Structure 1
Amino acid sequence: MRVRIPEAELERIAQIGGIPLTWEEGVGADNQRSVQNPDSPALLREMAEAAFADDPDAFAEFVSENRHRIRDAALFGESGEQVTELLVLGYEAGIAGGSAACMNDLGALYYMGDLVEQDYGRARELYEMAAAHGCLQSVINLGYVYEYGRTGEPDYAKAYECYALAAALTHSSEATYKLGDMYSRGRSVRRDLGRAHALWEHSLELASDCVEQAQPAVRIAKLLVDPNCGDWGMQRDPLRALHLFQVAEIGLRLDIADGQTYYRRRLQEAIEGQERARALLEEEGGALE
Structure 2
Amino acid sequence: MVMKPYERNEAIFNKYQVTEDDVKRMAELAEMDFGTEDLHALSEEEIFDELFKDFDLNEGEFPADPNQMYGVLLLKRVQGQLADAALSTMHDIDSFYDYWQENKESIRDAAQLSPAIKEMLVLGFRMAISVGSAASANCLGALYYMGDVVKQDYAKAAELYELAMANGCYQSIINLGYIYEYGRIGKPDHAKAYEFYSLAAALAPSCEAIYKLGDMFSRGRAVKRDMKKAFALYERSLQMAQSDEEYAQPAIRIAQILIDPDCFEYNINPDPLRALALFQRAEIGLRLDIADGQVYYKKRLQEAIEGQEIARAMVEDEGDGGDFIIV
Say whether the fold is shared (TM-score over 0.5): yes
Q: Deviations over 1:200-248 (max 9, x none)?
A: 1111111111110000000000000011111112111011000000001
- Cross-structure match for 2:296: 262
Which of 227, 232, 251 in structure 2 is aligned with 1:217? 251
- Cross-structure match for 1:20: 33
2:189, 2:322 → 1: CA distance?
Answer: 50
Contact 1:23–1:34 (CA under 8 A) maintained in structure 2: no
- Cross-structure match for 1:43: 78
Deviation, structure 1 residue 13: 0.9
How does 1:54-69 map onto structure 2 within 5 Å? 54=90, 55-69=92-106
3-state SS of the aligned residue for 1:262?
Answer: helix
How many residue pairs match? The answer is: 278
Deviation, structure 1 residue 288: 6.9
1:210, 1:171 → 2: CA distance?
Answer: 18
> Residue 164 and residue 34 in structure 1: after superposition, are their counterparts in 2 closer, same or farther (change >3 A)?
closer
Give the AA of the match of 1:62.
Answer: Y
1:148, 1:196 → 2: CA distance?
Answer: 19
Which of 145, 158, 162 in structure 2 is aligned with 1:124? 158
- Cross-structure match for 1:280: 314
1:154, 1:12 → 2: CA distance?
Answer: 39
Work out whether 1:236 is the aligned partner of 2:275. no
Q: Deviations over 1:73-117 (max 9, x none)?
A: 112x3xx21111100000111111111111111111111111221
- Cross-structure match for 1:7: 20
Give the AA of the match of 1:12.
Answer: R
Q: Which runs of 5+ in 1 are unaligned?
A: 25-31
Q: Deviations over 1:133-159 (max 9, x none)?
A: 111111100000000000001110110
Q: Deviations over 1:182-217 (max 9, x none)?
A: 000000011000000010111111111111000000
Contact 1:166–1:175 (CA under 8 A) maintained in structure 2: yes
Give the AA of the match of 1:284.
Answer: E
3-state SS of the aligned residue for 1:114?
Answer: coil
Q: Which runs of 5+ in 2 are unaligned?
A: 1-12, 49-72
- Cross-structure match for 1:193: 227
Contact 1:218–1:244 (CA under 8 A) maintained in structure 2: yes
Work out whether 1:105 is the aligned partner of 2:139. yes
TM-score (norm 1): 0.92
1:221, 1:65 → 2: CA distance?
Answer: 33
Contact 1:23–1:33 (CA under 8 A) maintained in structure 2: no
Deviation, structure 1 residue 23: 2.9
Contact 2:85–2:99 (CA under 8 A) maintained in structure 1: yes
- Cross-structure match for 1:134: 168
3-state SS of the aligned residue for 1:259?
Answer: coil
- Cross-structure match for 1:160: 194
Q: CA RMSD in A?
A: 1.8
2:227, 2:190 → 1: CA distance?
Answer: 17
Instruction: Indicate the percent of aligned positions where both proteins have the same amino acid.
Output: 54
1:160, 1:17 → 2: CA distance?
Answer: 44
Contact 2:27–2:33 (CA under 8 A) maintained in structure 1: yes
Contact 1:140–1:166 (CA under 8 A) maintained in structure 2: yes
Contact 2:215–2:230 (CA under 8 A) maintained in structure 1: yes
TM-score (norm 2): 0.81
Q: Deviations over 1:49-71 (max 9, x none)?
A: 00001222111111011111111
2:246, 2:217 → 1: CA distance?
Answer: 20
1:139, 1:195 → 2: CA distance?
Answer: 22
- Cross-structure match for 2:51: none
Give the AA of the match of 1:225.
Answer: I
- Cross-structure match for 1:33: 40
Which of 216, 226, 245 in structure 2 is aligned with 1:182? 216
3-state SS of the aligned residue for 1:151?
Answer: coil
